[in-house]
């Protein structure tokens, strides 16, 4: 009796760990902690992320004012503006998703909504688990950028 209840409890834990909600939560948390290093506190992570979002916003405003397509420096500011806005939007989406994925009551709803892309989420989750063993330093930034490019459309569905 005790053994059977323990086994069913363990199976239930494995089911919860392997569901789409948990996988997505682990992915978003890992990416956000990589983007915005902070201590393990969720509130500190959200605070630091908000600071970085504000930095991107102010940098984008500055570059936007300096755009002048008749000079090389003005073209640089245009490219810097576009890059900064992209990073701003990605980080904001990551933070919004992090907040949603830390609400346990949303688990069932998110698992249901993400059932059409659960194979993509699982593939990203497995990639995240295995990346530490195979990634060489020269390709690390390109890998994370490609990873985020695949993740962002999935996170956009959470909104």
Per-residue pLDDT reduced to its tens digit, 43-74: 889 999 999 999 999 999 999 999 999 999 99
Phi, psi (deg, nearest 5) at residue 40: -75, -5
Q: 78-122: per-residue pLDDT in tens?
A: 999 999 999 999 999 999 999 999 999 989 999 998 888 889 999
Indicate whether 127 pLDDT > 80. Answer: yes
User: At 40, is the secondary structure helix, strand, or coil?
Assistant: coil
User: At 103, is the secondary structure helix, strand, or coil?
Assistant: coil
Do residues 76 and 85 make contact, with C-beta atoms less than 8 angstroms apart? Answer: no
Kindly report the pTM of this predicted structure: 0.82
38: which DSSP letter?
-
- The interaxial angle of helices 2-18 and 20-35, nearest 10 deg, is 50
Rounded CA gap, 98 and 63, in Å?
28
Do residues 22 and 102 make contact, with C-beta atoms less than 8 angstroms apart? Answer: no
Indicate whether 132 pLDDT > 90. Answer: no
Indicate whether 8 pLDDT > 90. Answer: no
pLDDT band at 42 (very low <50, low <70, confident <90, very high): confident
- 49 burial (CB, 10 Å; 0-12 / 13-18 / 19+) is buried
Rounded (5°) CA angle 151-30-92: 55
């Amino acid at each position: 009796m005790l053994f059977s209840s323990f086994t069913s409890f363990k199976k239930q834990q494995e089911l919860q760990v392997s569901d789409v909600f948990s996988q997505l939560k682990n992915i978003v948390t890992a990416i956000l902690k990589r983007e915005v290093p902070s201590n393990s506190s969720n509130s500190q992570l959200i605070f630091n992320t908000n600071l970085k979002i504000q930095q991107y916003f102010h940098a984008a405003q500055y570059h936007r004012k300096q755009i002048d397509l008749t000079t090389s420096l003005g073209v640089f500011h245009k490219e810097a503006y576009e890059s900064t806005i992209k990073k701003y939007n990605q980080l904001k989406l990551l933070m919004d998703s992090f907040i949603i994925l830390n609400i346990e009551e949303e688990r069932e709803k998110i698992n249901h909504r993400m059932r059409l892309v659960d194979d993509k989420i699982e593939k990203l989750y497995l990639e995240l688990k295995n990346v530490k063993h195979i990634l060489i330093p020269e390709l690390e930034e390109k890998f994370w950028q490609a990873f985020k490019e695949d993740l962002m459309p999935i996170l956009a569905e959470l909104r």
